[in-house]
Every structure is written in structure tokens, then in C-alpha cells.
A = this chain, B = another copy of it.
């Protein structure tokens, strides 16, 4: 008999529905009491499973912490998830009420179904499944926060404060999407971020372009010329030292990713783009997951209203961010950018560069036993070899786990992009939920064998 035969899906669904009915919208102060209810729901459940479970207050919404440390000599696993959800607005776009979970076509429709109650609860049920067969094969800790959707601002202090208690050999997070419906995915890398704001000043006020055009410095033209020079014809960032230390893709990675069901034309069509420009010499997935890049995220200056106004603005500005990859340090990159951009200033333009924030890139060694354990668990659930992917985004809390707890982070995403997290009619396939429970259980079994 496999674990699969012991999975009580009816009970698992009913409990998740109960959790989904609690409108734990962290951004909305009127849901303060609901946040407490959701935290208590999870604490009580973990307590019933024999965890030492508690609800810890923070400066914001509480953290649920639970641990069951009954596998001496076995690795310790920390599972992170969050019980808060995005606001439901616009309500009129929902086919069925966001906090009344409804199953249609094999999908649970509810706010939080995939992000992240469904995925977090799959781990709770995964532990329950194992416990129904005996003791857990690992020492297991749960850290379930209530502020992920509002920036996790109290989580890092919490981790610092409980650094000893939270020690683990590996951290597991399920809070995202698999590469594609038929592709079980282990995500072993995230890009980092360096985000700056550039301010360009010309004259000390807005000027009339008739009286001054041809002699006054124009900060918008200057800003455009600066931005244009930040990437070369090959799509490479021109900041000196930017690529120093960048970890090159391995042949293994290039080959693996080339096998993935990705099609440039379909990808472009999915965003309505006519091309997918980027750094020469790399495939789209390579550029998205393993290459640093630079994008202007916002720009402003002068007159933005209807019609024409003949003004030469005194100021202009832009927000510019760089996605970073392993080998790049956000602080160093921000420093390089702050040094370089002013050197591009045309005559008459005064340039100031302010660092806004950064995030460390993260990568777990593909050969790591934990990555291998995750792959093996997924293969047991899906009967096929999983994809080993990275992702282009940054999850700031991952870097915090990394630096504060020093443990590798495994991203075992159970959802799909089509689940529409953050959007109306968010959903989670019942099969993904059930496979998620099995994945969690098998993963702990695999990790348990690493002692």
C-alpha cells in the first residue's frame, strides 16, 4: 500500500474549505479578528496532530509556529507558508463568493485557495498522512505567517528573535506555480534585485521651450540618453563590473531547460508582444531565470496631460531595477550603478541616484541531496521526472531565511499560473491539492532517509 491509499481526500477538502471560509485579508483592518481566527484554526489543527503549536503575536498579524521533534538523528525541516490572503476586490468579478469555496470542474474557487492556504494546508495534511502511518521521518517545524501579502515586514524580526528555535537543515516553501500543468517542478533558484531611483535636474524651474529651447539643459532628454546607454546593442548591461562573478549556466542546465515545453511564439503571444528582446546568446528561459537584466520600471517628467504644453522641465526621474543572479551582490551592484550613472550625464544635467532596495539571488546546488529528495518525491507522486527550474522573480523572505538560518530553501510549487492568484476567481485544482499532500509526505520521507 502506498501513502496514496491512505489519503482521505474528503476530510482534507472539508478542512481546507473551513480555512478558506475565514476572510483573512491582511491588508484590511476590518478583518483583524479573522486573522486571529485563521491563525487559531491552524494552531489548533497542528496541536491535534501532536505538534507543540502556538500563536505568536508580532507588531502586525500573528505568526503560527509549531514543531514536532521526535526523529532524533533525522534532518530538521522547516515548512514556511502564509495564512493571509489578498483582498477580494473587485467582488463583482467573482462567479461565486470569494470566501465561500465552491468546486467547479475539479477546481476549488476561493480567495487563498492556491495562494497560499491550499498549498500551506497540503503540508499540514501531508504531515497528518504520515502520522496516520506512524512517527514522522523528520523533525518538522511549521512557520505560517499572516503578512505575506502586505510585505512580511514583521517576519524578519520574528526570525531573528527565534533564530535558534527555527534552525533547520532545509526550508520548504510551496507558494507558487509549477512550470506547466503536466510538469512537476522543483525550483532551485531565484533572481535577486537591485532597485534604484534616478533624479535628473536641469534648470532650477520649468522653462518655456520657446524662450529657452536650444540652450537650456533638458533633463528628460538627458535621462533618456542615460537610460539608452545602460544596455548595449547585444542587450547587455553596460555598468562596469556588472557581470563580474556571475555564475554561468552549466551545460546541464541549458540542456534541461531546452527540454521544457516552452515555445517562444506562444510565450510572446501570451503577453501580446511582437518579440522577446533580450541578451544575445541566451534562450528565453535562460534569460528569464539565469541572466541578470535591467528594466526601467517607471519614468516621469514635464507635462503628462492632454494636448501640448511647450515646457522644458526642471526635473525628471526614473525607477530602474536590475534582476540579479548568483554571483552578484545587490549592495555591490547598487554601488556600481550609483557610480556609473552620473558619468553618463550629458552637459548641464545633474544626476542623483538613490538606492531603494535590494534582494539577494538564491540558488540551491542541483546536486544537493535536498533537491534530489524533492525530485524523487515528485517522481513518486506524478510517475515522471520533474523539471528543475529556476524563476526570474525574487522572494525577499527566501533570502532572509537563507542568511538568518543558513539553510537551503526548496521551492516545491503546487499551483499553476492559471490558478489566478491575486485575481478574481482564484482557484486551486483539487488534483493539485491532493498531489500536494502526497508530495509533502513523500518529500519528508525522502528527506528522512538522508540521515
Contacts and interface: CB of A to CB of B under 8 A. Distances in A.
Interface of A: 191, 193, 195, 197, 202-205, 207-218, 220-221, 223-229, 231, 267, 271-279, 284, 287-288, 291, 293-305, 307-313, 316, 318-319, 321, 323, 346-348, 350, 356-357, 391-394
B205 A393 contact: no
Closest 10 pairs between A and B when the two form their complex, measured CB to CB: A210-B393, A204-B272, A228-B228, A275-B348, A298-B302, A224-B227, A214-B287, A298-B303, A220-B296, A203-B271
Contacts of A204: 271-273
A215 B323 contact: no
For the complex formed by this chain, how many copies does it contain in all? 2
Nearest to A350: B274
A198 B194 CA distance: 29
Contacts of A296: 218, 220-221, 224, 301-302
A393 B231 CA distance: 36
B357 A272 contact: no
A211 B393 contact: yes
A288 B212 contact: yes
A303 B297 contact: yes
B308 A356 contact: yes
A348 B318 CA distance: 21
A313 B298 CA distance: 8
B297 A309 contact: yes
A391 to B, nearest CB: 7
A308 B195 contact: yes
B300 A213 contact: no
24 contacts: A197-B308, A202-B273, A204-B273, A205-B272, A210-B392, A213-B321, A214-B279, A214-B287, A215-B277, A216-B271, A216-B273, A218-B296, A220-B296, A220-B297, A223-B299, A224-B228, A227-B228, A275-B347, A275-B348, A277-B348, A298-B302, A298-B311, A298-B313, A309-B319
Nearest to A356: B308
B195 A310 contact: yes
Contact of A297 (B193, B195, B311, B346): B311
A353 to B, nearest CB: 14
Given A276-B216, A307-B356, A347-B277, A211 B391 contact: yes
A329 to B, nearest CB: 18
Contact of A227 (B211, B221, B303, B350): B221
